[in-house]
Chain A
């Protein structure tokens, strides 16, 4: 079966900047595929190339088997694209806005009316049909923009940060809509700089940084590939001196990759998050030697890696505050 999205060695260079440094993607029909990475990782560039807005410096990109570079117009008929930053035509009514895009895609007049009604139902704007776009809230505009990507029943939706700038409730609504669209058989390529946002609904994820795919696969696969290095959560009794002493001691352990002291409000006052490369018996050994060296350990456990940590580990840098 033809993959919906396929890129091979995609490169985009801006002067001396390598925004995309050879990205290979393969997204099958019906998938929700997430591109995750910090800001500036190359997600938007990749999506803009697929949306026919940018020409790659090198490499190939196909949407439903059609080359993006050679036949952009055919590709445009098969994709619905929602950019990360976009404007809406304030002075149109909601239905006129969708009507305009439906006309752009040559949807016949007799199908436009009913289709606009259906789309507004999907994105939960049924009551806003005659409202001016200007009067919509940010979340509503986001949903309207999502609806506009659907007017021509495209095979692929390219959604660049669809949940950015939304409040938690609007995020949940957006996620519900994406699930519904997946149920309708759409393939969705979605980006975010927050992995957990995507984790629950994506069938596949590519973690991107500095223009490269660092890991790709299902969330479970990525998690497994990182299992070798466990995150230990060690809790101690004591004050700042004890903490520093423990940090230093752990730092001298060869199997410890990293120690991150975590501020806690209540006793036990110290917690250290420790990246540890080693099997379970090495962990037991570490605990024994810690106690023998006089550290008052009250808790020692392996943290279940959540998506946030996977992300941190893979990209090797701080993730931005999800609320930002």
Chain B
């Protein structure tokens, strides 16, 4: 009798051993004594988004220029945290998109004999998805959605595997050749946490870009959400972008 009882006890203990190991590894260094610093900025009180009024964009490219200056983005083309695309829809239905150097040096008037139905500019940037595919694929937890809804990259932790660059359906990420780490728009996190506007929003001459709180009672963004017919890019991917476009043309991808 005693034998069976002890065997059961032994089996239970054997079960507990890997369980406790797993538990320990999950808990890791216990966060019990985490020092809770209360500074001026409380991320929990904010949830950021951006609105883009496509019909107000004049394609001056000042946003792309300011972004590079503010965030020390490489000056060469192909490294952009934000850029401006020009869409031209021709009479026969063909659509061309161009973005010479992200629009930083402006656009030249396209000379064409073809009938143009409509043409417009679309500023692009990281959509700060609520359901970000780039975060899902990161193997080390170097890219993440912060408490205030901004998708960020931890440069010290990034291993430069480029998975996130592949995963982003909006082409918003690039590999910084200096640090060999992924880089992207941060909504100018260093500015918004100090109460400033992101650099691109600050310099936009026509207020085509509207930045603000998605959940506040009253904010410029909230007003845009109330007054405009908003769309997001590639809604069928269920990424739930927090960059909202008003007056978006169906041809925009």
A and B assemble together: no
Chain B residues with a Cβ under 8 A of chain A: none
Interface residues of A (CB under 8 A from B): none
